[in-house]
Amino acid sequence: MEKNFVNTQIEEKVLKPANGMAMMLILILVMLICVGAIVWGAMAALAAVIVAAAVVFCIACVLLGGLKIINPNEALVLTLFGKYYGTIKDHGFFFVNPFVTARNPIAEKQNESEGLLQELSESSKKNKEKKPSINKKVSTKVLTFNNGTQKVNDAMGNPIIIGAIVVWRVENPTKAVFNVDNYFQYLSTQCDSTIRSIARQYPYDSIEETDTEEKTLRGSSQEIADMMKNRLQQRVEDAGLEVLEVRITHLSYAEEIAAAMLRRQQAAAIIAARQKIVTGAVGMVKTALDQLGEEEIVLLDEERKAAMVSNLLVVLCGDKEAQPVVNSGTIY
């Protein structure tokens, strides 16, 4: 049983926010009233009305920051002054507390790296133009992760090259944001570890061709991929991720032993073919001897039978065509 070091104390709280369209119309109406009150107060020289209308107008402007647009297959994880506030999973136009902050570790890390690169690059004024802000919403779409190929040793110690792709999605945005620093990097690390641990348990191919029950990476690739899926799901479950499928996309011997293993496979194929040829030749010789004895076409003693068997096996099992020899005399 693998130990799990992920903190899972934060439980997801799904928010049901107010309708954003209705709130936007109310705020616009309040702002228009405030503008009218300020104009009327200025004409009537009423300072108190002007101040009150200005304060209400500023409050309405602050409340506009609570309007959020959530697209399908997206979620918004919100915090309020450092404390988890809730998660919006529904898509639409909503109104929430304007002081909440959206969290997405992938966007935050990307923003930090882009900010560092922008400070280091001062070659032209074009680089100083502000880029659009990175989306803080957590995508819950089905994604494909390709971690490339890696070299590992199989159960027999042979170096092999193996690669797989993972079909996954964010199932619990709250866990994905708070339980790990970067859930995408976390998935990448766990994927590497899972592929290595599973690949080391099985040989690339069975040495004995007759051993069909032994699981191998080449012969049982689908079963091995299912085992990788289950193992990877156990590792990333506390990070709020769901692994839908794992597919092995590349499997081969490493370059340093590929030629030797190819010769071994060719030798095994030749031996298997020879075994079938010999089995068939022995059957044909036995059939010929039985028919000659039953029909009494030719009566052969044991010595002549042995010679006939030897000649037939040479003809049937040889690589080259046999040259016929005509016997014009007696066989005795």
pLDDT, one tens digit per residue, over 53-87 is 899 999 999 999 889 988 898 899 999 988 989 99
Q: Quick one: three-class SS letters along the chain?
A: CCCCCCCCCCCCCECCCEEHHHHHHHHHHHHHHHHHHHHHHHHHCCHHHHHHHHHHHHHHHHHHHHEEEECCCEEEEEEECCEEEEEECCCEEEECCCCCEEECHHHHHHHHHHHHHHHHCCCCHHHHCCCCCCCCCEECCCEEEEEEEEEEECCCCCEEEEEEEEEEEECCHHHHHHCCCCHHHHHHHHHHHHHHHHHCCCCCCCCCCCCCCCCCCCCCHHHHHHHHHHHHHHHHHHHCEEEEEEEEEEEEECHHHHHHHHHHHHHHHHHHHHHHHHHHHHHHHHHHHHHHHHHCCCCCCHHHHHHHHHHHHHHHHCCCCCCCCCCCCCCC
Q: Write down the pLDDT at residue 82.
A: 85
Instruction: Give 142-253's CATH code, choosing from 3.30.70.260, 3.40.50.720, 3.30.465.10, 3.30.479.30.
Output: 3.30.479.30
Range name among 110-119, 146-155, 241-250 with the lowest pLDDT average: 110-119
- The predicted pLDDT at position 129 comes to 46
Nearest to 196 by CA among 229, 233, 162: 162
The answer to whether the pTM exceeds 0.85 is no
- At residue 25, the pLDDT reads 93
**Within 13 A of 129's CA, how many CA atoms are on the CB side?**
6
**Using an 8 Å Cβ cutoff, are 132 and 178 in contact?**
no
Domain spans of the chain? 18-120, 142-253, 258-317
Q: How confident is the model at residue 130 (pLDDT cuts 50, 70, 90)?
A: very low
Residue entry with tokens 């690339």: 204
Task: Show the tokens assigned to 25.
Answer: 């119309």
